[in-house]
Amino acid sequence: MDFFETHQGQLEILLIVAVAMLLGGLIGLDRELAAKPAGLRTHMLVAGAAALFVALGTVIVDDFTEAIDTSLIQSDPIRIMEAIVGGISFLGAGAILRDQSNNRIEGLTTAASILFAAAIGGTVGVHQYVLAVGAAVLVVLTLRVLGLVENRIKKATGHYDDDPQPAEKEPSN
């Protein structure tokens, strides 16, 4: 047996991870071009990790069902997704900051894009490639097009990210 026959399943998972990373990279490239703290590498790694966790979940269930009585195994793929969302939520929370000087919250869009990269990775992990590509395109369009719309609104109203309007300070007692 040659290497490819022996490791076919693992190579297929590696390809799944690579596709997920590529799609995560599309989102990360947008964030990188917008000079956001979580960019290309972060989004690629998040999408790839999510795809790997989902694919490994399938392998683990398959291995257990071959090894023992299948009536003893309860498989719940939602638990894998819950674990991914929980882990990614901590990463996303790190991207969200509150600027004390002007009472602004920053990084929400970056946190949302990280979560979406994980969802796209999970989608690739369950072989839903068309859905994953479509979702990645929608995310990039949302970030790009709505980002332009937001900037026009801010320009028209005089509210800029670079020059935020400070919130009123509460009187001290």
Q: Is residue 78 part of a domain?
A: no
Question: Would you say residue 100 lies in a domain?
Answer: yes
Query: Has residue 41 been placed in a domain?
Result: yes
172 in any annotated domain: no
Task: State mean pLDDT over 97-101.
Answer: 77
Mean pLDDT, the chain, whole residue set? 85
Range of the domain at 7: 3-70+84-157
Q: What average pLDDT does this structure show over 96-125? A: 89
Helix, strand, coil tally for the chain in percent (to 5): 75, 5, 25
Percent of the chain with pLDDT over 70: 87
Strand-pair partners of 97: 106
Please indicate, yes or no, if residue 170 is contained in any of the structural domains.
no
Q: Write the pLDDT tens digit of every residue in 127-167.
A: 999 999 999 999 999 999 998 898 889 888 887 654 444 44
Question: From the centroid of its chain, how far is CA 84?
Answer: 10
Residue 171 lies in a domain: no
**What pTM was estimated for this model as a whole?**
0.80
Residue-wise pLDDT for 46-87, tens only, equals 999 999 999 998 888 777 777 676 666 677 778 888 889 888
Q: How many domains does the chain have?
A: 1
pLDDT tens digits along 17-26? 999 999 999 9
SS3 35: coil
For residue 140, is it within any domain?
A: yes
User: Do 139 and 23 form a contact (C-beta atoms < 8 A)?
Assistant: no
Is 120 a member of any domain? yes
